[in-house]
């Protein structure tokens, strides 16, 4: 169990597409445990492996309904649209309104190596979509208009300088 260093905006690792986890072995279990520790320590509600410098398809989410830790998460089904504020541990201090699917069904492999399907709505669904985006190198800044992006440029620069 360990708290890992979260990589910040403009770190190139956040832009990589992560390969699938081949097997949920001891190493992946430890990664998921450490990611959960890091998420709770940094008071986030979700974290993806590339944010801690690991190019693997692994995420953790806890929106207050208990911990979800998955390897190879993918969205099987989605429905509806909802716009709401989102932050990201890699973009401290930035909150953006992002349009997401209202409900999703996500399939992934849990820490026991079992395939699980999770039905989620609202904030839980939003956070799962946010973390899966990270595995494809996508950040919340990719979901906003150019104009909005321009308006937060100073904040982004501060994060870049501090990282
Ligand atoms: Ni994030």
pTM tops 0.95: yes
As for how many domains the chain has, the answer is 1
Residue 92 pLDDT exceeds 80: yes
The Å distance, Cα 113 to ligand 1 centre, comes to 25
The Å distance, Cα 102 to ligand 1 centre, comes to 18
The Å distance, Cα 95 to ligand 1 centre, comes to 11
Catalytic residue among 20, 43, 131, 160: 131
pLDDT above 70 coverage of the chain, percent: 100
Domain contains 22: yes
Domain contains 2: no
What pLDDT does 163 receive?
Answer: 73
Domain contains 3: no
Give the CATH number for residue 63: 3.90.45.10
CA 117 to mean position of chain CA atoms? 18
Domain contains 6: no
Domain contains 121: yes
Residues 37-89 have pLDDT tens digits of 999 999 999 999 999 999 999 999 999 999 999 999 999 999 999 999 999 99
Tell me which residue range forms the domain holding 124: 12-160
Active site residue 131: yes
The Å distance, Cα 11 to ligand 1 centre, comes to 13
Instruction: Provide the Cα torsion 102, 46, 136, 94; round to 10°.
Output: 90
Domain contains 52: yes
């Amino acid at each position: 169990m360990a708290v890992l260093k979260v990589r910040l905006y403009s770190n190139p690792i956040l832009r990589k597409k992560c390969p699938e986890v081949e097997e949920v072995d001891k190493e992946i279990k430890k990664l998921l445990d450490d990611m959960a520790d890091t998420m709770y320590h940094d008071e986030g509600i979700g974290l993806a492996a590339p944010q801690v410098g690991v190019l693997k398809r692994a995420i953790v989410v806890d929106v207050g309904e208990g911990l979800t830790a998955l390897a190879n998460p993918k969205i099987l089904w989605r429905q509806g649209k909802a716009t709401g504020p989102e932050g990201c541990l890699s973009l401290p201090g930035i909150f953006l309104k992002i349009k997401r699917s209202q409900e999703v069904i996500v399939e992934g492999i849990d820490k026991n190596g079992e395939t699980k399907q999770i039905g989620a709505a609202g904030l839980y669904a939003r956070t799962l979509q946010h973390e899966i985006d990270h595995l494809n190198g996508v950040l919340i800044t990719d979901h906003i208009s150019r104009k909005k992006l321009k308006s937060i440029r100073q904040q982004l620069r501060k994060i870049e300088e501090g990282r």
